[in-house]
Chain A
């Protein structure tokens, strides 16, 4: 067996097991962490396909940002595990339908001959220093510039919408505008006053005074 095949099976075994644990893990935090593991292995498999840009972006965006925020939320939930498992039988038909559909579609793709995959020649192997990041950038910003910009706009609108939907001002919040705080000068807060230096009396005087006081 080729070394590459070994690596593929290694990565995909972990990927499948991790994905399985995502749906079977009891604790949602564990499930989210298994999802991170699954993403990481998927990134590895993409690297094997020499799609290094996609692999790195998967790790950067999904593991580095999306899943962190997921965990951020999931960790703060106070979850009743019993309640979580209650609706299992109620949701089963729905889930089974979706799962079945996915399986059928995957079988279609993997079957290949429906799409005439056998007739397609194998893509030519690229040299080791071939950078698909550059190639992708070149195509994205020339040929597909308008679709790319359109996608960016849709995402921007979605972002603005999400913020405006969830933004609400709480009346009781004690909020001070940070620009006011940052603009504060020390002259407004504190004055330095010149004072004459206070001299300590020599130790002998003090003792004598204390002695005199006691005597009185």
Chain B
């Protein structure tokens, strides 16, 4: 493998870093797009089963070719630009919707040292990139020159900014106890501790000491991706489809792809931050990528399950939940975790000499 790589490296010369990055990006995005396509199929099957229906079963065995048929249909449809719309921005909207949700995958590690970019400020990068997802919604909503689309954009702007606050505080708790912004190190920090040594790894993952944050993160993740029961942004009963009402063909499909890519992203993030990523839950089974895939699949199933179970929230109640429930809970929990870490009861004893950024004073108090 290494020799083959060296041959290619010699062939491309100074262009090699660019080529190698592109190869890595394609190797990540191609399976991701397949996952996105089949997530739509899984969603229809799962919700169908929950509502005692069959779901898609016409195209291919078990309806397995349905996503491909849908994609082909959308590809061949005309993209209609409404009169009176702001043309440049109208085209830019779907692009800005999907670009951040793909760019965010750059820092996601899939196994020990397996990421497109294993950077130190990984968590910060993710926060920054996911905070830009909102532009796709706002721009397309405004540029469509339609009242429904505009209402959807306004709702999205308010909702996504509100839940980002709670999401950010939940992440602060995680990075407090793992004292790193690097996602690989956050996962590695969950693979140590008393329970891990006893062979019960799943009890030393972050979800247990940070249980309230885990719940808040999951629910805020639902709200950030505009999934049910927080999908007032689309609200097909009131504002038809919100920001995407004027879009057709592939432009519409881009919004769809972005939404499902975001769902997978939030699930992977939850698995990495709270459920130990690729770490095995019990001592006698080896760690590996399959664990991350399994945990991600579980959270995706929860996303679909929630959609089939709960009715849509009313808009003012969404805002109330975000600002009056989640933000106070997370604020208090940040303080609780910080005090916990500095108290003698701290379960995160660090003896690495402060190399991971724990101030020296904290080490003395924390023992």
Contacts and interface: CB of A to CB of B under 8 A. Distances in A.
Contacts of A181: 317
A133 B124 contact: yes
Interface string A100-129: 000000000000000000000000000001
Interface string A153-175: 00000000000000000000000
Contact of B121 (A30, A33, A52, A75): A52
Given A53-B124, A68-B135, A71-B157, 5 more contacts: A56-B128, A60-B131, A64-B127, A69-B161, A72-B154
Interface in B99-155: 119-121, 124-125, 127-129, 131-132, 134-135, 138-139, 142, 150, 153-154
Contacts of A133: 120-121, 124, 181
30 contacts: A29-B86, A29-B142, A33-B89, A33-B139, A52-B121, A53-B121, A56-B125, A56-B128, A57-B128, A60-B124, A63-B128, A63-B131, A63-B135, A64-B128, A68-B134, A68-B157, A71-B138, A71-B157, A72-B138, A72-B154, A75-B138, A75-B142, A75-B153, A75-B154, A76-B154, A129-B120, A131-B181, A141-B359, A178-B320, A182-B317
Contacts of A76: 154
Interface of B: 86, 89, 119-121, 124-125, 127-129, 131-132, 134-135, 138-139, 142, 150, 153-154, 157-158, 160-161, 164, 181, 316-317, 320, 357, 359
B357 A134 contact: yes
A22 to B, nearest CB: 15
A92 B320 CA distance: 45
A36 interface: yes
Given A53-B121, A133-B120, A133-B124, A65 B131 contact: yes
Nearest to A52: B121
Given A133-B181, A138-B357, A68 B138 contact: yes
Interface residues of A, number: 31
B190 to A, nearest CB: 20
Contacts of B154: 72, 75-76
Interface string A44-67: 000000001100110110011100
The 4 A-B residue pairs with the shortest CB-CB distance in the complex, in nearest-first order: A64-B131, A59-B128, A134-B357, A56-B124
A11 B182 CA distance: 26
A71 to B, nearest CB: 6
A59 B132 contact: yes
A52 B161 CA distance: 23
A60 B124 CA distance: 8
A156 B241 CA distance: 38
B359 A138 contact: yes
Nearest to A141: B359
Contacts of A131: 120-121, 181, 357
B157 A60 contact: no
A59 B131 contact: yes
B161 A60 contact: no
B289 to A, nearest CB: 24
A81 B55 CA distance: 52
A65 B164 contact: yes
Contacts of A5: none
